[in-house]
Amino acid sequence: MLCDWGNIVLIMADKSALCIGEKDMESELDMLFKKNLYTVAINLVQTEQADAAATAEVLRKYGDHLYSKQDYDEAMAQYIHTIGHLEPSYDEALQYISSLEPGQAGVTVKEYGKILIEHKQEETIDILMRLCTEDVDLAKSGTSNGAYLSMLPSPVDFLNIFIHHPQSLMDFLEKYADKVKDSPAQVEIHNTLLELYLSIDLNFPSIFLADDGIDFNRPAAPAMSWAVSSGNGKLFVNVKNSYIEKDSLERREKGLHLLKIAWPSDLEHPLYDVDLAIILCEINAFREGLLYLYEKL
How far apart are the C-alpha atoms of 35 and 115, rounded to whole Å? 31
Whether the CB-CB separation of 251 and 243 falls below 8 Å is answered with no
Looking at residue 269, its pLDDT comes to: 92
Mean pLDDT rounded to a whole number for the chain: 78
How far apart are the C-alpha atoms of 297 and 287, rounded to whole Å? 15
- pLDDT top residue among 35 and 206: 35
E strand segments, the chain: 2-4, 7-11, 17-21, 225-230, 233-238
Whether the CB-CB separation of 183 and 176 falls below 8 Å is answered with yes
**Closest by alpha carbon to 65, among 100, 39, 97, 103?**
39
**Closest by alpha carbon to 107, among 147, 158, 165?**
158
Range scoring the smallest mean pLDDT among 2-16, 65-79, 86-100: 2-16
How far apart are the C-alpha atoms of 50 and 42, rounded to whole Å? 10
Give pLDDT tens digits for 58-75: 888 888 888 888 887 788
Report pTM: 0.70
Q: Could you give the 3-state DSSP secondary structure of residue 206?
A: helix
Most confident of 66-75, 142-151, 273-282: 273-282
C-alpha distance from residue 10 to each of 6, 23, 252 (Å): 13, 17, 80
Whether the CB-CB separation of 125 and 172 falls below 8 Å is answered with yes
Give pLDDT tens digits for 77-89: 888 777 766 655 5
